Amino acid sequence: MIDKLLIANRGEIAVRIIRTCREMGIKTVAVYSTADKGGLHTTMADESVCIGPPASKDSYLSRNNLIAAALKTTCGAIHPGVGFLSENADFARAVRQEGLVFIGPSPEVIEMLGDKVKARAAAVKFGLPVTPGTQDAVLDNALELVKGIGFPVIIKAAAGGGGKGMRIVRREADLEENIRIARSESLANFGDERVFIERFVERPRHVELQMLADGKGKVAVLGERDCSVQKNHQKLIEESPSPGVTDAMRDHMKTGAVSMFRELGYCGAGTIEFLVEDGAFYFMEVNARVQVEHPVSEFVSGVDIIRQQILACTESALEIDGADSGNRCGDCNVRLSGWAIECRINALSPGRVTKLSVPGGFGVRFDTFLSEGCFVPPYYDSMVGKLLVHAANRAQALAKMERALSELAIEGIRTNRTQQEYIIKEKTFRSGEFDTSYYGSIAKEVEHV
**Surface-to-core class of residue 379, CB atoms within 10 Å of its CB (0-12 exposed, 13-18 middle, 19+ buried):** middle
Query: CA separation (Å) from 252 to 248, 256, 257, 410, 417?
Result: 6, 6, 9, 43, 36
Give the Cα separation of 398 and 391 in Å (integer).
9
Residue of 16, 194, 205, 289 marked active site: 289
Determine the 3-state secondary structure of 307 from DSSP: helix
Give me the phi and psi of 3, to 5 degrees please.
-110, -10
Query: CA separation (Å) from 392 to 100, 208, 225, 246, 398?
Result: 42, 21, 16, 19, 11
Q: Dihedral, CA atoms, 242, 248, 251, 255, nearest 10 degrees? A: -130
Instruction: Judge whether 289 counts as a catalytic residue.
Output: yes
Determine the 3-state secondary structure of 10 from DSSP: coil
Q: Give the strands of the sheet with 234-240, arranged side by side.
A: 280-287, 267-277, 205-214, 219-231, 234-240, 339-346, 383-391, 364-368
Could you tell me which residues are beta bridge partners of residue 4?
27
Give the Cα separation of 48 and 69 in Å (integer).
9
The length of the chain is: 449
H helix or E strand, kind and range, residue 295: helix 294-301
Catalytic residues: 289
